[in-house]
Amino acid sequence: MYRIFNPKLAFSVITLSGLAVVLGGCLGGSSGSSGTLNLGITDAPIDGAQNVYVQFSGIKLHGSSTGDITLNFCQDPVDASKTVVSSGTCATSKPKQIDLLNLGSGKSEELLGDYTLAAGHYQWIRLLVDTEDQLDSYIVLGDGSSHELTIPSGAETGLKLVRGFDVAAGGHSDYTIDFDLRKSVHSTNGNYMLRPTLRLVDNLQVGSVAGTVSANLLTSCNSPAVYVYSGSNVTPMDVNTSLDTGPIASAAVSLTDHTYKAAFLEAGNYTVAFTCAATDDPATTDTLAFSGTSTVTVAANTKTTHNF
């Protein structure tokens, strides 16, 4: 069974200072009414890994009026060091390889930077991920060993988000994809698979929960984390991707300053709980001890403080 754990590592969905790195600009547009889409990616933590690299070669969208649109990440013909976005075939591809463990504390990397699209409703987004070549998408464990990541469902169904979104005529849509590694990386017999659990959130409608954890709770604690559940008074449980009642997000607790922060939470009520042993196997039910379970309210563009 799967356990990825390294007591020296504690990553958080939110542990680094905010930064956005633009992956691509707009090389094309749409006739008629249009708006712009800004799409970023962030991460929830996983224990026992030094790096989790995922290589994105592009994005595919499906709109009610446009049908399928494929946006490829290409080498800038003017500056080979840059990546641009094209709705056509790349003369030379330049995929973006992102270490998802570097994303946290509201930090994200931008996959699309104000890209012009036809206005209307879009039913789904698919992230095009490279897993064919050696060390394009891979995990580096605490012992320094590297292991290729595969997608069991294959490239055609890949990393798909079925939540829709709208691009308003003359408007600007700003979304972030929360890539929860704690739920998404599975290991069987030494093979590492990416079965992603993704959330698409509207950046204008999200807030965060942050605070500190008492030193008494962190005594002899190697993998402390705060789990976040949708709704009030939820009984906390482990990460189990076969169930719908597990945490929607998690945030590692710093063993240095005892702080945590869970970001990109849509406005509403949430249950938060602290555990000292966040070493979940997402494929099984694990018995975790929780403490300090409480209900908190998140408002858009607001940080809610909750201390354990």
Residue pLDDT, tens place only, 237-276: 877 655 566 788 888 888 899 999 999 999 999 999 999 8
Tokens of 298: 């998140």
Task: Report pLDDT digits (tens) over 206-222.
Answer: 999 999 999 999 988 87
The pLDDT score that the predictor gives to residue 104 is: 64
* Range(s) within the chain of domains with CATH label 2.60.40.1120: 206-305
The pLDDT score that the predictor gives to residue 298 is: 96
pLDDT mean across residues, the chain = 79
In 3D space, the residue among 302, 12, 13 whose CA is nearest the CA of residue 178 turns out to be: 13
pTM score: 0.74
The neighbour count for residue 126, using CB atoms within 10 Å, is: 20
**What CATH number should be reported for the domain whose range is 206-305?**
2.60.40.1120
State residue 216 phi and psi, 5-degree precision: -65, -35
Q: How far is CA 242 from CA 175, 189, 230, 245, 271, in A?
A: 26, 20, 17, 9, 20
Please report which confidence band the pLDDT of residue 285 belongs to, taking 50, 70 and 90 as the band edges.
Answer: low
Q: Which residue has the tokens 């909750």?
A: 306
The pLDDT score that the predictor gives to residue 27 is: 35
Report the residue count for the chain: 308
- Contact of 268 with 174, CB cutoff 8 Å: no
Task: Report pLDDT digits (tens) over 64-92.
Answer: 888 999 999 999 999 999 999 999 999 99
Burial (CB count within 10 angstroms: exposed 0-12, middle 13-18, buried 19+), residue 1:
exposed
Task: Report pLDDT digits (tens) over 18-72.
Answer: 223 333 333 333 345 878 888 887 866 566 677 888 889 999 999 988 899 999 9
